[in-house]
Amino acid sequence: MGKRQGMPPRGDELRKQVDEAIKNIDYAEAFAKKAREERSKLPPVHKDPPYRPEEER
């Protein structure tokens, strides 16, 4: 048997949760936009750096 379901949250509680979720989504979008801008300023990163033997380092 599954868990026993409690009462569903009231309308104002749901509204509060939705507002919180929307704020989090807006923050995530703004953060991603800022990260893309900052990343475009950096030089490209080489995924495989050239191999150098230990003596040359």
Give domain status of residue 24, yes or no.
yes
Give domain status of residue 35, yes or no.
yes
Give domain status of residue 32, yes or no.
yes
- Residue 2 is predicted with a pLDDT of 56
Question: Which residue's entry shows tokens 């380092």?
Answer: 57
Give domain status of residue 48, yes or no.
no
pLDDT tens sequence across 2-49? 566 677 778 888 889 989 998 888 888 999 999 888 888 877 776 666
- Residue 56 is predicted with a pLDDT of 53
Cα separation, 13 vs 20, whole angstroms: 11
Model pTM score = 0.43
The tally of domains found in the chain comes to 1
Half-sphere CA count of 27, side-chain side, radius 13 A: 6
Cα separation, 38 vs 4, whole angstroms: 48
Domain holding 17, by residue range, is: 12-39
Residues in the chain: 57
Give domain status of residue 27, yes or no.
yes
- Residue 43 is predicted with a pLDDT of 75
- Residue 33 is predicted with a pLDDT of 92
